[in-house]
Structure 1
Amino acid sequence: MQPTRLFDLIPYQIAKFDKEVALAKKLNGSWVTYSSRKLKEIVDTLSLALLDYGIKPGDKVALISTNCPEWNFLDLAVQQIGAISVPMYPTITSADYEYIFGHAEVKLIFVGDESIFEKAKPVAGSLDIVSFNDIEGAIRFEDFLSRGENGDLAVLEAHKDKVRPEDLFTIIYTSGTTGRPKGVMLTHHNVLSNVMQVGKIFTAPVGTSRVLSFLPLCHIFERAASFAYIIMGYSVYYAESMETIGENLKEVKPHLFNTVPRLLEKIYDKIVAKGYELSGAKRGLFFWALNLGLKYDPGKSMGAWYDFQLKLANKLIFSKWREALGGEVLQINSGASALQPRLARVFWSAGIKVCEGYGLTETSPVISASICNFEEIRIGWVGKLIEDIEVKIAEDGEILVKGPNVMQGYYKEPELTAEALKDGWFHTGDIGELDGPYLRITDRKKEMFKTSGGKYVAPQVMENKFKESPLIDQLLVTGENRNYPSALIVPSFDGLKEYCKHKGIPYTSDAEMISKPEIIEKYDREVENANKYFAKWEQVKRYKLLGQSWTIETGELTPTMKLKRKIIHEKYKAEIDSIYSS
């Protein structure tokens, strides 16, 4: 059968693969697995439980949890009765929960653990909360599930038959870098059309491959991927937490996983830090291999001598990198923000194929994706447009998209919808260029700014270049209506410690080190080095070193680790003003 609604993927997987391990989670030190048939049994029972509770077609059900099989159970169960899921990040605030519960008119809430329950309970009003874990004050998931154990499957089938491909299956509230979150309305057809095309370009073998999942399922990137995994017959293992990814990679030995550039940057920085710990010949060998990798281009012939050296580097150095990722990775998909080209180069040189893609929640999500082979990969581009999608570049450089994947609009926001969807084209807000089917992103339209001299500056491109320094962790380029661009810089304190150790500079505290003249001189050189890649009017003339990292919890990053520029500008107004006044 050809799936037309997302929950059709369950019988599709059973008919084609009948997996012994469809989903898995780690509990008390052991992996608990669910087969394709067990997945269907639990989802059907949960659908009947929701009906017994009183959830009707069109009702909204909130879902707030870290990744686990229960997340999938509920997502699919809600769909089968024609209700609409409203997933949320576990990391957002109670105020965000309160707004979304009210705006979406949520009827029932499911949470993953006690910390989420404690944030949701004060703003849930009279709404019941079901917990995947045993929490006092919440309905136990097992107790809720039992409501459907004696339900009539014929009643469920009647409900499933009424669900059409064009019906809404979810409202996803985008975290946004400014203002209130917007509810993106997506249908079964929006997401399924996208998933079917994306599934065609996975390189991991159908039916036998393993996936490690750790990006939040509430984000459309990982959620759509979870449906693609069902189609492809992959076994999905959920990482215990972000802290255990390294351990879980070695256990699961995945063939595929999704990530965001920020995590790849952290992996790379840890690898480089390990290199600095080496001494003598071992250290020289490490950095010889690393510098070789940074020059690599998988789409070009690098010459016999280079190939010989790279083969040696892979045997001596890069093989250890692959082992750290489980030793069997065939493809890593990177999305949600721009990937530094140097990272793509060095990972490809090490036999680790990192494939960058591009999309938005509003496009379900994929617009373009890198094809993970040597013939079609292009470093610095976000791949080829996927089938059934049209893209054109507006006069001002904005990327416009048309296709079956484009959202229905923003929930209860007709004006915002009309602004984003014009003449059938979705306006992405991103600036880019096309070369045949290949797409490149150059900046965010709303993030570009103009100096007082009338020159436009694209900060994201600059920030990526500056972050190539092992001493720079985070950076924001600013300067709208000012004489020149400046920057707030969060040092890589691990990198700074290694630098100080190498130079024999005693390291005291982070705050004290960034005020030392010899450290400031080093950062002057790092800024000067990065500035060489930009025109004079774009170059960062002055900067401020900050002693504290930007995080989701402290409010400067979105849950997908993008900079909240407005928040950062407000929070560091005094520091920015001091740059221009002194």
Structure 2
Amino acid sequence: MTETQTLIESRPPSVATLFLDRVGATPDAEAYRYPVPAASGEGPDTWASLTWGGAAERVFAIAAGLLDLGVRPEERVALACSTRVEWILADLGVLCAGTATTTIYPSTNVDETAFILSDSESRVLIAEDAAQLTKARQRRAELPDLAHVVVINAEDAVPADGDPEGWVLSLAELERRGAEHLRKHPDAVRDSVGALRADQLATLIYTSGTTGRPKGVRLPHDCWSYMARAIQATDLVLPDDVQYLWLPLAHVFGKVLTAGQISVGHVTAVDGRVDKIIDNLPIVRPTYMAAVPRVFEKVYNGVAAKARAGGGAKYKIFQWAAEVAREYAKVTQDNYRRTGNKTAPFGLAAKHKVADALVYSKIREAFGGRMRACVSGASALAPEIGYFFSGAGIHILEGYGLTETSAASFVNPGEAYRTGTVGKPLPGTEVRIADDGEILLRGPGVMEGYHGQPEKTAEVLESDGWFHTGDIGELSPDGFLRITDRKKDLIKTSGGKYVAPAEVEGQFKAVCPFVSNILVYGADRNFCTALIALDEPTLMSWASEHGLAGKSYADVVATKEAEELIEGYVRRLNEGLQRWQTIKKFRLLPRDLDVEHGELTPSLKLKRPVVEREYKALIEEMYEGAREG
């Protein structure tokens, strides 16, 4: 048995066990960094630190507090909170108490929050603030199982008229109760962790629901223990890494990163405020970060916009450097695949060196200057964006997984990464491609099933453990996976040709620095069309230089100038497509797509049915007068 196999096969039953092992091994090592806002509310944040031993004190107090509230093994404790260190401590407290976490995005509306709390039969809600408390309070009559709401921001833990006695308490109060419980029962938490079974429910994550009501995905303790050990075995993260964690922890992608950290033992800086990412990177100076493709697209568009604002010469230099970066990345990745060395011809290497001094070094500094690797997941990264960052020295390792497979089923292997693929399966995960191209997965990371929905479970999970992902893909001879599209999202034109919209959309994002979101449409039509939303800061910067200053975003996208600008990029896109894939018509949307309007999931995936329904009139307008065949 290899070292990797031993690491995975000998995994403990739970991440809670791994946490106790980590605390025992490195109690004084730094575990978490987190921002502390200035007391006045103005000025820069300071960053505080928590050791593994310090984290354990709080985790044990939370776990014991839950035991004191009477929550029993596998009963659900919901967590509605943004990404912050208290989320991680609360989740670990839930796991160490033997109970199970139900994750809820803080942006989730009242109706869906109530649905999740009810469907999961959650006994306790750990709420970030008054806003999350209010959602539960408004529907309390429909939530007979919800015995307590624990509020993280103590000043917001204010009981209201009509609340049952003791229904609302602060996290600080819960920890005080837990500390008292431990004085009476000092081994309570350790006994609880010791009693955990690998098949016991650990987490209930509701799918973000690109269609219909979300389904609760049941992930037992063994899923997370396996993921933690598999991440460690890949050397994806190292003990001396500093991870910057901003992803939503209610999402499986963010959650799996917390499991991997415990197994490896590196430092994680936690701050979920998306508007602080650019400010935080030079302060945290991370060596490792996971993100969704939209973040890399926004960085790329921002760099291009800044170069354009610097004048024609600067923009030409950027465009030249971008092409050099892509060429350099493709050549060096290909050489590494064939020879094991990332070499480039002398002329290309010389151009790359000049471009590095002029452009790439500044991009690396913006990421903090120490970034060893970024992981991209949740949706497809446009290859040309990936090649750009690769050539600039920001190595983006694409990965792949689903909520139903505990997030990380595939990831690119360090130096050997291949842009445009999602890498190889994690050790212990099996993959096969069905006759229709669908990716099937089997392994310890696969869910137990959908909560209370055996018929839905049977649709995707075979009796022998193979899970149907719903994604279409291809495996290279040496095991690298390339995702083509979602099976249900494939477009069949009226001419019988299949189009993968995500592939076309990704290519457009690579050629057009103004795009924010794009939806390609064409099912049962005789040509493809697109709805395009533009990146507001980039567009408005362009508008101010082209006689459109003072106009609103909606007014700018309605102008002939904006249409002609984007039409040029659509023509460039079409030059690289098959005839049946080309975009014959497009419409610019009056605003960007967003989570608030329900057009994007919290992990920024496009909700196609919602967008198609909302902009049905624009779609029909593009096909008016066209011959359908």
Could you say whether these structures have the same fold, taking a TM-score greater than 0.5 normalized by the shorter chain as the test? yes
Aligned to 2:192: 159
Aligned to 2:473: 432
Question: What is the Cα deviation at residue 194 of structure 1?
Answer: 2.0
Determine which of 328, 353, 360 is the counterpart of 2:402: 360
Determine which of 178, 190, 214 is the counterpart of 2:246: 214
Question: What is the Cα deviation at residue 234 of structure 1?
Answer: 1.1
Q: What does the per-residue CA deviation read over 1:78-137, in whole Å, with 9 as the maximum and x for residues that have no partner?
A: 112321110111111111111111111111101112332233321244632111102123
When normalised by structure 2's length, the TM-score is: 0.89
Aligned to 2:308: 276
Matched, 1:177 2:210: yes
Question: What is the Cα deviation at residue 308 of structure 1?
Answer: 1.5
Query: How has the CA–CA distance of structure 1 residues 303 and 129 changed in structure 2, closer, same or farther, with 3 Å as cutoff?
Result: same
Matched, 1:330 2:362: no
Query: How has the CA–CA distance of structure 1 residues 66 and 333 changed in structure 2, closer, same or farther, with 3 Å as cutoff?
Result: same
Determine which of 360, 365, 371 is the counterpart of 2:413: 371
Aligned to 1:260: 292
For 2:179, what is the secondary structure of its paired residue? coil
For 2:234, what is the secondary structure of its paired residue? coil
Separation in 2, partners of 1:492, 1:521: 16
Q: Identity across aligned pairs (percent)?
A: 35
Query: How has the CA–CA distance of structure 1 residues 320 and 52 changed in structure 2, closer, same or farther, with 3 Å as cutoff?
Result: same
Query: How has the CA–CA distance of structure 1 residues 196 and 204 changed in structure 2, closer, same or farther, with 3 Å as cutoff?
Result: closer
Aligned to 1:149: 179
Aligned to 1:93: 109
Q: What does the per-residue CA deviation read over 1:143-196, in whole Å, with 9 as the maximum and x for residues that have no partner?
A: 111111122122333322221112110111011200010111111111211221
Question: Match for 1:349: what amino acid?
Answer: G
User: Which range moved further: 389-398 or 280-289?
Assistant: 280-289
Could you tell me which runs of 5 or more consecutive residues in structure 2 were left unpaired when the two chains were aligned. Answer: 1-9, 38-44, 160-167, 335-342
For 1:488, what is the secondary structure of its paired residue? strand
Matched, 1:519 2:519: no
| 8 Å CA contact 1:487, 1:542 repeated in 2 | yes
| 8 Å CA contact 2:14, 2:224 repeated in 1 | no
| 8 Å CA contact 2:80, 2:128 repeated in 1 | yes
Matched, 1:400 2:432: no
Could you tell me which runs of 5 or more consecutive residues in structure 1 were left unpaired when the two chains were aligned. Answer: none
| 8 Å CA contact 1:451, 1:484 repeated in 2 | yes
Query: How has the CA–CA distance of structure 1 residues 124 and 533 changed in structure 2, closer, same or farther, with 3 Å as cutoff?
Result: farther
Matched, 1:9 2:41: no
Question: What is the Cα deviation at residue 434 of structure 1?
Answer: 0.4
Aligned to 2:74: 58
Determine which of 53, 56, 71 is the counterpart of 1:37: 53
| 8 Å CA contact 2:114, 2:135 repeated in 1 | no
Aligned to 1:131: 151
Question: What is the Cα deviation at residue 26 of structure 1?
Answer: 1.1
User: Which range moved further: 231-240 or 422-431?
Assistant: 231-240
Question: Match for 1:140: what amino acid?
Answer: S
Aligned to 2:591: 548
Query: How has the CA–CA distance of structure 1 residues 255 and 19 changed in structure 2, closer, same or farther, with 3 Å as cutoff?
Result: farther
Q: What does the per-residue CA deviation read over 1:391-444, in whole Å, with 9 as the maximum and x for residues that have no partner?
A: 111111000011111110000010110000124210000000001311000000
Query: How has the CA–CA distance of structure 1 residues 315 and 15 changed in structure 2, closer, same or farther, with 3 Å as cutoff?
Result: farther
For 1:22, what is the secondary structure of its paired residue? strand
Question: What is the Cα deviation at residue 517 of structure 1?
Answer: 2.7
Aligned to 2:490: 448
Question: What is the Cα deviation at residue 263 of structure 1?
Answer: 0.9
Question: Match for 2:326: what amino acid?
Answer: L
Q: What does the per-residue CA deviation read over 1:491-512, in whole Å, with 9 as the maximum and x for residues that have no partner?
A: 2343334444555566633223
Q: How many residues align?
A: 579
Question: What is the Cα deviation at residue 471 of structure 1?
Answer: 2.6
Query: How has the CA–CA distance of structure 1 residues 26 and 505 changed in structure 2, closer, same or farther, with 3 Å as cutoff?
Result: closer
For 1:150, what is the secondary structure of its paired residue? helix
Aligned to 2:431: 391
Query: How has the CA–CA distance of structure 1 residues 487 and 240 changed in structure 2, closer, same or farther, with 3 Å as cutoff?
Result: closer
For 2:603, what is the secondary structure of its paired residue? coil
Question: Match for 1:192: what amino acid?
Answer: S
Aligned to 1:494: 537
Q: State the Cα RMSD in Å.
A: 1.9
Q: What does the per-residue CA deviation read over 1:303-326, in whole Å, with 9 as the maximum and x for residues that have no partner?
A: 111112212222232111111111
Determine which of 450, 454, 470 is the counterpart of 1:410: 450
Separation in 2, partners of 1:69, 1:287: 40
Question: Match for 2:23: what amino acid?
Answer: I
Aligned to 2:6: none
| 8 Å CA contact 1:165, 1:187 repeated in 2 | yes
Question: What is the Cα deviation at residue 476 of structure 1?
Answer: 0.5
Question: Match for 1:336: what amino acid?
Answer: A
| 8 Å CA contact 1:111, 1:117 repeated in 2 | yes
Q: Pairwise mapping of residues 225-374 of structure 1 onto structure 2 (< 5 A)?
A: 225-239=257-271, 241-279=273-311, 281-295=313-327, 296-297=329-330, 298-300=332-334, 301-373=343-415
Question: Match for 1:416: what amino acid?
Answer: K
Separation in 2, partners of 1:209, 1:341: 26
Question: What is the Cα deviation at residue 203 of structure 1?
Answer: 4.9
For 1:418, what is the secondary structure of its paired residue? helix
Separation in 2, partners of 1:495, 1:252: 27
